[in-house]
């Protein structure tokens, strides 16, 4: 592994820690081991640890509770819950709760394990680059965690009823009002919904999650009229990316690796669209001059891409991709979100289990941006986007549909932002 870091493996099992140490240890990578939770916590106290890998089944406390404690005391440590028997649903629940950053099956093949850990360390090192940290440390008080969003996701995954979910929304009157406003907007075509429960049922949990996350992201900022205009453009783009992501994900997956990825779906991460460009919102809110400089650079070159303008200005280690990923990581949101934000403009370098999702986000982003910029779909390079199986005619039809939706979604965005 050409990466550096310190890992801590905690497992009652006599063999696992030693085995993991043998597999993962390397130049720059130290592997500490502990067989008891107390010993593990002591180890954390005494060493700067990057990743903790804890077994789910342990004597004194289960891995889940141990990781909960580690999150409270060492929030920046990457927490992997390892288990031989956890099912996919439970694993997702742990990840969405933010207590576990990554879930890992036990007894993974050595090469796969090395790749996975190496990848996590390399993401950490990107997020700890000096340029980015300098920029982040210049902010007084980091933006707060979207806590209602987290609670909502957790309740949905716990199978809570819509009445219970509505109760959570009602606790934040501004968000509750927003939900009613959105459901009664021209876009959804209802004008008669006055109960939050009814609104929640009508909108469905995925839209609800996006609304809450959007409201929490923009809720605390003080925005000028000009910024509101820009926010709307970003959110319109983000909603549309979220809306078409499953379509392109399926298309790319179906055409490239038929059958192989059966069962893998973007469904567990419905808010990917909303968060992929969250870095732009943070720049708009906290680094207004930088945002202005990027927009001016875009206008100067006539190139539509925000990211390309950032590169031209020398922000390659602190572009909206790194900034967004940094905050998603800080907020303990799922790894899939962090990595999609981080790699969506360089999908080819995303050497992770989320590569398909990231590629699909890149393709969706490119197509939506192109249409948002009023360009012809015929100008899109279908080969470069791995969409060569899509005919020009099909793409033209799709483009027209997206263009129409961009128009109608405008109303919806205006009620939200």
Q: Contact positions toward Fe ion, by CB under 5 A? A: 277, 365
How many Å from the N-terminal Cα to the C-terminal Cα in the chain?
45
In this structure, the dihedral spanned by the alpha carbons of residues 143, 148, 151 and 152, taken in order and rounded to 10 degrees, is -130
Could you say which DSSP state residue 26 is in?
B
Q: How far is the CB of 213 from Fe ion (least distance, A)?
A: 16
Q: How far is the CB of 149 from Fe ion (least distance, A)?
A: 20
Q: What span, in angstroms and rounded, lies between the C-alpha atoms of 198 and 196?
A: 5
Pairing of strands 29-34, 5-10: parallel
Q: What span, in angstroms and rounded, lies between the C-alpha atoms of 112 and 130?
A: 30
Q: Which is nearer to Fe ion, 21 or 372 (CB)?
A: 372
| Nearest CA among 28, 23, 5 for reference residue 114 | 23
CB 235 within 8 A of CB 216: no
Q: Which is nearer to Fe ion, 58 or 338 (CB)?
A: 338
Q: Which is nearer to Fe ion, 10 or 321 (CB)?
A: 321
Q: How far is the CB of 90 from Fe ion (least distance, A)?
A: 32
Q: Which is nearer to Fe ion, 210 or 365 (CB)?
A: 365
Q: How far is the CB of 341 from Fe ion (least distance, A)?
A: 8
Q: Which is nearer to Fe ion, 91 or 341 (CB)?
A: 341
CB < 8 Å & 24+ apart, contacts of 390-395: 390/251
- How would you list the strands of the sheet with 29-34, edge to edge? 29-34, 5-10, 51-55, 78-83, 102-105
**CA angle, 379 as apex, 373 and 384 as ends, to 5°?**
105
CB 19 within 8 A of CB 132: no
Q: What span, in angstroms and rounded, lies between the C-alpha atoms of 84 and 310?
A: 44
Q: What span, in angstroms and rounded, lies between the C-alpha atoms of 28 and 279?
A: 31
Residue with tokens 């050409």: 2
Q: How far is the CB of 305 from Fe ion (least distance, A)?
A: 8
Q: Which is nearer to Fe ion, 110 or 384 (CB)?
A: 384
Q: How far is the CB of 192 from Fe ion (least distance, A)?
A: 35
Q: How far is the CB of 365 from Fe ion (least distance, A)?
A: 4
Q: How far is the CB of 256 from Fe ion (least distance, A)?
A: 22
| Nearest CA among 180, 176, 241, 270 for reference residue 409 | 241
Q: How far is the CB of 227 from Fe ion (least distance, A)?
A: 18
Q: Which is nearer to Fe ion, 20 or 231 (CB)?
A: 231
DSSP 216-252: HHHHTS---HHHHHHHHHHHHHHHHHHHHHHHHHHHH
* Half-sphere exposure at residue 407, Cβ-oriented, CA atoms within 13 angstroms: 6
Q: Which is nearer to Fe ion, 11 or 365 (CB)?
A: 365
Q: Which residues, 6 or more positions from 384, have their beta carbon under 8 angstroms from its beta carbon?
A: none
Q: Which is nearer to Fe ion, 277 or 329 (CB)?
A: 277
Q: How far is the CB of 96 from Fe ion (least distance, A)?
A: 23
Q: Which is nearer to Fe ion, 277 or 285 (CB)?
A: 277
> 3-state class of 104 per DSSP?
strand
């Amino acid at each position: 592994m050409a990466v550096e870091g310190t890992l801590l493996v905690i497992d009652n099992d006599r063999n696992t820690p030693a085995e993991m140490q043998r597999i993962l240890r390397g130049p720059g990578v130290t592997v500490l081991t502990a067989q008891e939770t107390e010993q593990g916590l002591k180890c954390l106290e005494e060493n700067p640890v990057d990743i903790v890998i804890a077994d789910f089944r342990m004597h004194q406390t289960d891995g889940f509770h141990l990781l909960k404690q580690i999150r409270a005391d060492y929030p920046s440590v990457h927490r992997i819950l390892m288990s031989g028997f956890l099912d996919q649903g439970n694993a997702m629940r742990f990840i969405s709760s933010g207590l576990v950053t990554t879930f890992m099956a036990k007894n993974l093949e050595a090469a796969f394990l090395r790749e996975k850990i190496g990848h996590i360390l390399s993401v950490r090192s990107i997020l700890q680059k000096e340029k980015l940290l300098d920029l982040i440390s210049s902010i007084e008080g980091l933006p707060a965690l979207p806590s209602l969003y987290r609670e909502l996701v957790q309740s949905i995954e716990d199978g809570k009823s819509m009445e219970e979910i509505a109760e959570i929304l009602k606790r934040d009157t501004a968000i509750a009002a927003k939900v009613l406003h959105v459901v009664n907007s021209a876009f959804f075509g209802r004008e008669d919904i006055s109960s939050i429960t009814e609104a929640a049922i009508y909108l469905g949990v995925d839209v609800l999650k996006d609304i809450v996350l959007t409201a929490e992201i923009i809720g605390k900022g003080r925005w000028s009229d000009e910024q509101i205009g820009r926010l709307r453009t970003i959110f319109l783009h983000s909603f549309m990316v979220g809306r078409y992501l499953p379509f392109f994900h399926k298309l790319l997956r179906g055409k490239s690796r038929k059958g192989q990825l059966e069962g893998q779906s973007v469904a567990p991460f419905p808010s990917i669209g909303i968060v992929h460009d969250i870095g732009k919102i943070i720049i708009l809110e906290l680094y207004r001059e930088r945002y202005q400089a990027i927009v001016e650079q875009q206008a100067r070159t006539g190139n539509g891409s925000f990211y390309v303008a950032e590169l031209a200005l020398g922000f390659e280690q602190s572009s909206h991709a790194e900034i967004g990923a940094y905050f998603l990581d800080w907020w303990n949101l799922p790894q899939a979100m962090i990595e999609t934000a981080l790699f969506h403009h360089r999908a080819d370098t995303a050497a992770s289990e989320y590569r398909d999702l990231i590629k699909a986000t890149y393709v969706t982003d490119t197509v939506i941006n192109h249409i948002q910029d009023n360009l012809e779909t015929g100008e899109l390079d279908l080969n470069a986007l791995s969409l060569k199986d899509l005919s020009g005619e099909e793409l033209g039809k799709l483009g027209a549909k997206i263009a129409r939706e961009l128009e109608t979604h405008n109303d919806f965005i205006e009620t939200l932002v």
